[in-house]
Structure 1
Amino acid sequence: MSAELYIGLMSGTSMDGVDAVLLRAEPDGRVHALAHEHEPFGAELRAELMALNAPTENELQRSALAANAVSRVYAQACRALLLAQGLAPTEIRALGAHGQTVRHRPGEIDGTGFSIQLLNAPLLAELSGIAVVHDLRGRDVAAGGQGAPLVPAFHRAVLAQTGVDVIVLNVGGISNVSLLRADGRGGGFDCGPGNCLMDGWIHRHQGLDYDAGGQWAAQGRVHEALLEALLAEPYFRQPPPRSTGRDLFHLGWLDAKIVAHAPEVSPVDVQATLLELTARCVVDSLAAFAPGEWRELLVCGGGAFNEALVRRLAGLMPSVSVDTTDAKGLPPMLVEGAAFAWLAMRHVRGLPGNLPEATGATGQRILGSYTPA
């Protein structure tokens, strides 16, 4: 077996667009992230995806058309990456395509539940000319797992350190941790909101997509009564395995808390409180469900660029070295895309891709379905 090239295509809970990452996989399983491109969602598509996170009129047709639109953006991100690297589609073994999550209810309702990612894999294969590995959460859910978080297995493969207990924190729309213990054990879980509430709040009040560097939050003061009400959400006391999404943490949830507990709070103080919530739900959940002599916290995802958030995490964990994954040679915005390229590689090679300690599945499973080029 020779080295192979894979592409990971990831659009997360923030719904800002698609990250495409080129990965080289060696025959022995070692991987190298080589390049990255980002393709934004248009405002109309983003609004439709947001709407489809809740029951809405004619949602079957709208979901199918949104899946087509998402697939076209995925294909454009792939084309941009190939063009920038001077590669042809035939040089890529497969794409790992996550799709856009619009509902996530594993284990609920009928005991199995579901996790829905909008993607038209045959259309993506037609537009890209590359085989597509998709539906990467479904098998884990069928095996009794949460289908999330999926990245801990990748984090363990590329960021674990012999003799050192390390936490990898991904702050996308939702925050999740991977627990990489010195003895080789792994695990992980979704902590709670990452950027989704902060992004939604600043967009409502300032028309911005995100709070660059946490600068707006830094101008406000934490509203203690509101913070206490937010932290009272039962999800935060739910033991792992656990995962969450916009089904729970959305602006309607936040608005109800504000009306009940802080009707006079200023918008900037809400933003400061949301940043504190994001940091606290990480630190509190680690203390409750993952105690240990943690030496390092490595932050990735869009939240790694929120300097105010990273500073607050460091302040809450004074005995832990807090840095971004850049310190380990993996830029924060490449991590999740690289993870889905890695999952595609694992599928193609017939290897499991989940980490049951993180998802709660009954065992390791080969993840995904395969649509040929």
Structure 2
Amino acid sequence: MKTSHPSSPAYYIGLMSGTSLDGIDAALVAIAPDHTPQLLATAAIAMPDTLHEKLLHLCHAPSASFAELADAEDAFCRVQAKAVQTLLAEQKLTPKQITAIGSHGQTIEHAPQGHQGGPAYTLQLDNPSLLAELTGCTVVADFRRRDLAAGGQAAPLAPAFHQALFGQRPGEQLVLNLGGFANLTWLPQEQERTVVGFDTGPANVLLDAWFAKHYPGRFDDNGAWAASGHIDPALLARLLKEPFFHQPPPRSTGRELFHLAWLEQHLSGNETPQDVQATLAELTAVSVAQGVTQLPLSQPSAALLVCGGGAHNAYLMERLAAHLSQLTLLSPATLGWPEDWIEAGAFAWLAHQRLHGLPGNLPSVTGASGPRVLGGIYAP
């Protein structure tokens, strides 16, 4: 590849570490002069066990010292840099050939409604200055707080990218991301109609936590353990009473609400572990299906593109198909974007939006008072 010129694509790297805390995804994306994104290459770096434990602790700690935050942020940034360097080496690229890196950072706490009467906030551990220093690339980061400042939820941000990727396809489109949490995007067929998107609830976050409580490892591979259990209707009903599931959009959530202690307070004590796991998968499937009923669908048989790590959970996909039989579940890989790389691609695209002075949020999704250019720029 050559350094981009105005008439040729520009190259961006998107970095994403979601609420599952499993690693850093790095996506190399070419964005054409007409702003069309194309996925070129990817690299994934697993989260070291010690860093995974530190981040998980910070997500649930009632308090943390500045030293703890700085230690975790520094270690996280260096894993990000390793992901970028790996991708550049594999693709035989130099930092100068990359227009910018888009870094999401690691969400530690997300409170768009504030906490105990305090101001709204969202906290992502990130050190874009250090990342620029380590990689030699321009970094764009801190995407969420500009939307929050405009009265938005600061999440989800991916629907704007879903619109850029899939919005020109014929017919209305649905996109479901199954990361630590699940979010839905509805892309209308009529361009004058507004996009709808929101978090539906937990996806992998509770499944992973419950699995890790009983087995070594971080996740239930292919949903095999969940498939060995039975859905507990009484437990499912108790879980679904959570007010979040009944809030109208815009809405977003995180580990602040859905975590292991939240689950355990709903247990009667008579459930088998595998039945709880099966019920958690059902909770995701049912809450997604409830979310679909909140969308202004005009085509009952619309296509649903399923992305994120949960797309590889065969049992979860089986339960989704059972509750969404009217929809056609598709892999976005058929459109050039494999399931695992859409979120990382989104932050490459958001970096492009920032450098071109273009909005990165959708007010109809986040509830912000208007479109906003998101992120700050850090030169190498």
Please tell me the TM-score bracket, short chain as reference: over 0.9
- Deviation digits for residues 257-305 of structure 1, max 9, x if unmatched? 11xxx31100000110000001111101221354542511110000111
- Supply the RMSD in Å over aligned alpha carbons: 1.3
Residue 218 (str. 1) matches residue 227 (str. 2)? yes
Tell me the distance in 2 between the aligned counterparts of 1:54 and 1:19.
23
Q: How does 1:185-196 map to 2 (within 5 A)?
A: 185-196=194-205
Identity rate, percent: 45
Partner of 1:11: 17
Partner of 1:208: 217
Tell me the distance in 1 between the aligned counterparts of 2:169 and 2:214.
46
Residue 342 (str. 1) matches residue 321 (str. 2)? no
- Which segment drifts farther, 283-292 or 153-162? 283-292
- Which segment drifts farther, 325-334 or 77-86? 325-334
Residue 173 (str. 1) matches residue 180 (str. 2)? yes
- Deviation digits for residues 41-89 of structure 1, max 9, x if unmatched? 1111111111111344543221122111110000000001111111011
Deviation at 1:307, TM superposition (A): 1.5
Partner of 1:117: 124
Residue 160 (str. 1) matches residue 164 (str. 2)? no
Residue 271 (str. 1) matches residue 277 (str. 2)? yes
Q: How does 1:46-125 map to 2 (within 5 A)?
A: 46-109=52-115, 112-125=119-132
- Which segment drifts farther, 179-188 or 223-232? 179-188
Partner of 2:43: 37
Tell me the distance in 1 between the aligned counterparts of 2:167 and 2:359.
18
Tell me the distance in 1 between the aligned counterparts of 2:51 and 2:251.
29
Deviation at 1:131, TM superposition (A): 0.8
Tell me the distance in 2 between the aligned counterparts of 1:26 and 1:157.
12
Deviation at 1:160, TM superposition (A): 2.1
Tell me the distance in 1 between the aligned counterparts of 2:296 and 2:227.
29
Tell me the distance in 2 between the aligned counterparts of 1:141 and 1:57.
23
- Which segment drifts farther, 318-327 or 1-10? 318-327
Aligned to 1:52, the other structure's residue is in SS state: helix
* Residues paired across the two proteins, number: 370
Scaled by the length of structure 2, what TM-score is found?
0.95
Tell me the distance in 1 between the aligned counterparts of 2:168 and 2:235.
39
Tell me the distance in 1 between the aligned counterparts of 2:296 and 2:146.
26
Unpaired segments of 5 or more residues in structure 2? Answer: 1-5
Pair 153,57 (structure 1): closer, same or farther in 2 beyond 3 Å: closer
Q: How does 1:234-273 map to 2 (within 5 A)?
A: 234-258=243-267, 262-273=268-279
Unpaired segments of 5 or more residues in structure 1? Answer: none
Deviation at 1:328, TM superposition (A): 1.9
Deviation at 1:225, TM superposition (A): 0.7
Tell whether the 8 Å contact from 1:112 to 1:144 is kept in structure 2 after alignment: no
Tell whether the 8 Å contact from 1:163 to 1:183 is kept in structure 2 after alignment: no
Partner of 2:155: 148
Partner of 1:330: 337
Scaled by the length of structure 1, what TM-score is found?
0.96
- Deviation digits for residues 193-231 of structure 1, max 9, x if unmatched? 010000111111111211121111111100111100111
Partner of 1:312: 319
Tell me the distance in 1 between the aligned counterparts of 2:295 and 2:166.
21
